[in-house]
């Protein structure tokens, strides 16, 4: 950023990004919250970056990989048998709010529903129509095309580019920076674990929406009901059954 240079983001051949680490989802607690928070902040930084950002999608782009692709200004995808997908619903996770807002900002209305609610899988070519990427190029030419595109975009007026980017993405960026942008996934990731240990009534209470006011004191589920050894640490609360101090 200090050099006012355009940016190209790419992955290894055949795989742009497979998304978040699923082992961290299984652990839950503070590690999960921090991973999701970092993902939201990364997407927000890319979307608000003052100079042009080009995503060179080098292969599969799943979940956070697709969110990151959509966050760029210009999105190129390598041709090939690759999948671009928001797979959260298919594997039992609720989309994080920041991801929903990125998808809402970039996908067409029809594909927004199909991609988010139905977890539809897209080829690179189909992803152009949906709004995941802007164009598909031969895999061997991807990086060359991405660098050439980034170089061409440096001819834009930098001040106008930066200010217009923030203006057109104001709503999406506000959602990405919201404190509640990662809450739905944290709740959903706890569901499978809690279903094995909590009675139905307590499960319904545990999955209630996160309260947005007050100060968290501790997890009211108690020892043995939340993540072992961390139930009193609110940042590690797995089930989000919190008591509050106004």
Q: What is the 3-state secondary structure of 135-180? A: EEECHHHHHHHHHHHHHHHCCCCHHHHHHHHHHHCHHHHHHHCCCC
DSSP 76: E
Q: Whole-number mean pLDDT of the chain?
A: 78
Confidence of residue 82 (pLDDT cuts 50, 70, 90): very high
pLDDT score recorded for residue 174: 82
- pLDDT tens digit sequence for 150-183: 999 999 999 999 999 999 998 888 877 664 455 4
- pLDDT tens digit sequence for 22-49: 888 777 778 888 888 888 889 989 999 9
pLDDT score recorded for residue 3: 60
- pLDDT tens digit sequence for 99-139: 999 999 999 999 999 999 999 999 999 999 999 999 999 99
């Amino acid at each position: 950023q200090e050099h006012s240079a355009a940016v190209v983001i790419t992955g290894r051949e055949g795989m742009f990004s497979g998304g978040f680490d699923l082992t961290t989802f299984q652990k839950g607690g503070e590690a999960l919250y921090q991973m999701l928070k970092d993902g939201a902040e990364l997407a927000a930084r890319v979307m608000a970056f003052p100079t042009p950002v080009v995503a060179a999608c080098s292969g599969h782009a799943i979940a956070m990989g697709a969110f990151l692709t959509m966050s760029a200004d210009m999105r190129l995808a390598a041709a090939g048998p690759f999948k671009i997908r928001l797979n959260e619903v298919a594997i039992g996770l609720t989309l994080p709010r920041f991801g929903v807002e990125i998808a809402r900002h970039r996908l067409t209305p029809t594909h927004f529903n199909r991609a988010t609610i139905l977890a539809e899988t897209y080829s690179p070519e189909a992803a152009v129509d949906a709004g995941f990427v802007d164009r598909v190029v031969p895999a061997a030419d991807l990086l060359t095309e991405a660098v050439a595109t980034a170089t061409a975009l440096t001819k834009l007026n930098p001040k106008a580019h930066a200010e217009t980017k923030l203006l057109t993405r104001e709503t999406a960026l506000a959602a990405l920076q919201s404190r509640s942008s990662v809450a739905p996934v944290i709740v959903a990731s706890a569901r499978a674990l809690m279903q094995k240990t909590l009675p139905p009534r307590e499960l319904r209470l545990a999955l209630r929406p996160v309260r947005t006011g007050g100060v968290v004191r501790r997890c009211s589920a108690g020892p043995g009901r939340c993540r072992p050894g961390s139930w009193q640490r609110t940042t590690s609360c797995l089930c989000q059954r919190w008591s509050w101090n106004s």
